[in-house]
Every structure is written in structure tokens, then in C-alpha cells.
């Protein structure tokens, strides 16, 4: 799935199996515009380094046109006079969504201090803290896999590398990707680095 990059994205771009640009969105867009001006038939794939997802950049027109189409970093709105405080809770940015639980879960939540919403928020916060390292490893492996699939899906050892990546078997993974094109191998290894268990 291709997405539009956020303004603060760090990107890496490939022309075939060759890395041709890496860095912040605006710098990569400028490098790629220069590349397609020199090589109009270049087959470019651009990846968000955080997620491994492919991103789209519209490179037609002048460099000024390309840069103008890019998203800009959000700038804070100018401060206006602070409104008078009113009674009640400040806005927390709470979003209402429907959830489905078993009756025994609702019964337990009803006995918790602050009610169901407070208890659920505490449970989610606790789970986020407790699973942070595991979530980061999973996200790193998924990012590496997305890039592998796009750039090396037909490479020898791809299936074995995929299995080793998701099984957390770093030595086997390294052996499988050893003969891949250097730029592809190095980028995949960089993305997968946070995906290995410590120790």
C-alpha cells in the first residue's frame, strides 16, 4: 500500500536495487527530482524508514512545483487571549468508540474506581508500557519485511530470510541476505536492527 509521507518523515529511495537518496522528505524529493530529470525512465521506489511502507511523491513539473506539493510541518496556531476557565474537566482529547466485552468483564469494570473508562485507560497504559520493547521489535521486523518484499521478493533466500526475520533468528537471517545487492541488504539490515531480542 502506498501512502503520502508525513512532513517529518525520514525516507529512503531506490532506483532498482541501488539506493539513490535517504534523509528528510524535502531533501529526498529534491534528490529524486534531479535524478528523474537526468534519468526519466528510472524505476523509483520510496520507503518510509519508520514503517517500511512505500510512499508516493509526485515528481512531475519543476523542482519548485515538486517542493510546493510536499506536506509542511504543522506550525502552532498563534496564541489568542486565553479563554476564561469554566467549571468541569478540561478537554482530554477523548474519542468515543464502541467496544464489546463479556458480561463478567463489564461487572469487573463497574467495580473499579472511576468506572469503566478510567479502568480501561489504565489497562491500556499498563499494556503499552509492558509491551513497548516487544512492539518495537515487531514494528522493526514488519518494516524490514515490507522493504524486503518490494526490493528482494524474487531474491534467492527470500522465503528463508522472511522466516528467520519473524522467528527472531538473526544469524540465519544474516546468512540468507548475505548475497543480496549491497544497498538492499544494508537497508534491510538497518531496518531489522531493532527487531532482534536483546541478549
Residue 54 to residue 92: CA distance in whole angstroms: 33
Under 8 Å between Cβ of 192 and 165: yes
pLDDT, residue 49, reads 94
Determine contact, residues 59/66, Cβ cutoff 8 Å: yes
pLDDT class of 1 with cuts at 50, 70, 90: low
Q: Three cell numbers at 87?
A: 467549571
- The reply to whether the predicted model has a pTM over 0.75 is no
Residues 100-118, mean pLDDT to the nearest whole number: 86
- Please, are residues 108 and 152 in contact by the beta-carbon 8 Å criterion? no
Interval 35-58 mean pLDDT = 93
Residues 102 and 83: their CA atoms lie apart, in Å, by: 43
Average pLDDT over residues 17-34: 94
What's the average model confidence in pLDDT over 3-27? 89
Q: How far apart are CA 145 and CA 168, in angstroms?
A: 13
Tell me the three cell numbers of residue 166.
519473524
Amino acid at each position: 500500500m502506498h501512502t503520502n509521507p508525513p512532513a517529518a518523515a525520514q525516507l529512503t529511495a531506490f532506483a532498482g536495487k541501488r539506493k539513490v537518496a535517504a534523509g528528510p522528505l524535502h531533501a529526498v524529493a529534491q534528490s529524486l527530482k534531479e535524478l528523474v530529470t537526468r534519468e526519466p525512465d528510472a524505476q523509483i521506489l520510496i520507503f518510509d524508514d519508520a514503517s517500511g511502507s512505500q510512499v508516493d511523491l509526485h515528481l512531475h513539473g519543476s523542482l519548485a512545483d515538486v517542493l510546493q506539493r510536499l506536506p509542511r510541518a504543522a506550525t502552532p496556531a498563534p496564541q489568542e487571549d486565553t479563554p476564561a476557565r469554566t467549571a468541569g474537566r478540561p478537554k482530554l482529547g477523548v474519542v468515543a468508540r464502541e467496544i464489546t466485552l463479556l458480561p463478567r468483564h463489564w461487572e469487573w469494570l463497574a467495580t473499579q474506581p472511576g468506572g469503566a473508562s478510567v479502568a480501561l485507560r489504565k489497562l491500556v497504559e499498563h499494556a503499552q508500557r509492558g509491551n513497548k520493547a516487544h512492539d518495537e521489535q515487531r514494528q522493526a521486523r514488519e518494516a524490514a519485511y515490507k522493504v524486503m518484499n518490494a526490493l528482494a521478493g524474487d531474491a534467492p533466500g527470500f522465503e528463508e530470510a522472511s522466516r528467520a526475520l519473524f522467528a527472531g533468528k538473526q544469524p540465519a537471517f544474516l546468512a540468507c541476505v548475505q548475497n543480496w545487492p549491497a544497498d538492499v541488504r544494508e537497508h534491510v539490515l538497518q531496518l531489522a536492527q531493532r527487531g532482534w531480542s536483546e541478549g
